[in-house]
Chains A and B, each alone.
Chain A
């Protein structure tokens, strides 16, 4: 079975541009969450979606937005890119949103470089 797939794997943008990152969860998983990982640090939570509804948002500016589609895939959008947005963006899917069960399955990430 395919794991969590993300695209693109690498991309380079310039300051002020917009970027869209895509994620396909494992088949049957209805929850998708997004994380940002700056080099040398642990991942930071950005968004969580479950059944196409936003269920949580981390401490990120409004330039970051996301949505989940009827097939449970998801997009993360970042507007007005800043140099500090350079990071690895990770998508994770899970069957449930309960913290007592349900491991998260992470994709390999999309590495964004902002010049």
Chain B
């Protein structure tokens, strides 16, 4: 399985943007880039996913490098509720629901 590399932790102030980087230099052409987050004492929650083009939804934006070897999840205005562990995951389109989670990035939001 292709691997991803993320910083262990990041801090942000409330209502400021948060940029979460992810490196995936061994990504294959059929890998989609997925982001999930896990709030304390909860199961993971889907955030966003993309293949080549940047993506936006109500929760976040995903910026994908042109060579696809890295991506950045952008939380536009962090709230205290966004404090969670964020996982960047590569998911082959044919691999079903097997997600390979790494260590993720723990995001701390300060009021």
Contact = CB atoms under 8 A, between A and B. Distances in A.
Pairing of A with B: yes
Interface stretch (A12-20, A37-45, A63-71, A78-86): A37-45
Contact of B92 (A45, A90, A99): A99
Interface residues of B, number: 27
Nearest to B47: A103
Contacts of A109: 43
Interface of B is mostly: loop
Contacts, number: 72
B7 interface: no
Contact of B91 (A4, A48, A58, A99): A99
Interface of B: 30, 32, 36, 41-46, 49, 51, 85, 87, 91-104
Given A31-B97, A45-B98, 5 more contacts: A48-B96, A48-B97, A99-B91, A102-B97, A104-B46
Interface of A: 4, 31, 33, 35, 41-45, 48, 50, 55-56, 58, 90, 92, 94, 97-100, 102-109
